[in-house]
Amino acid sequence: VEDPGHVEILSMLADLNATDNTFFVIYPEDEDIDWSISVHTRPGAFGGYEIEHRDPATGEQATTVEADHATIATHVLDWLSHR
């Protein structure tokens, strides 16, 4: 999805499952830029999702755990807006 918005991220989250579609990654279209953000399903009793941010240019690398789709979409969009 080129330039995903809130609705597209919510749709990608809704499509995730624990068997065959466990994550998605958003990265820049420009191959010379090397950041990414990914959302993974979390196995186990607690479930939810793990959001991983990576930006070598700034040294940023962090992982966040969240369950609410709207909060995840907002978090991802906020992070992307700083790129």
Q: Tens-of-pLDDT digits for all 83 residues of the chain?
A: 888 999 999 999 999 998 899 999 999 999 899 999 999 999 876 789 999 999 999 999 999 999 999 999 999 999 999 98
Give the separation between CA 46 and CA 62, rounded to whole angstroms.
20
Give the separation between CA 2 and CA 71, rounded to whole angstroms.
21
Predicted pLDDT at 44? 76
Distances (CA, A) of 59 to 4, 22, 28, 81: 24, 26, 17, 17
Asked whether 36 and 25 are in contact (CB, 8 A), the reply is yes
Asked whether 41 and 49 are in contact (CB, 8 A), the reply is yes
Q: Rounded to two decimals, what is the model's pTM?
A: 0.89
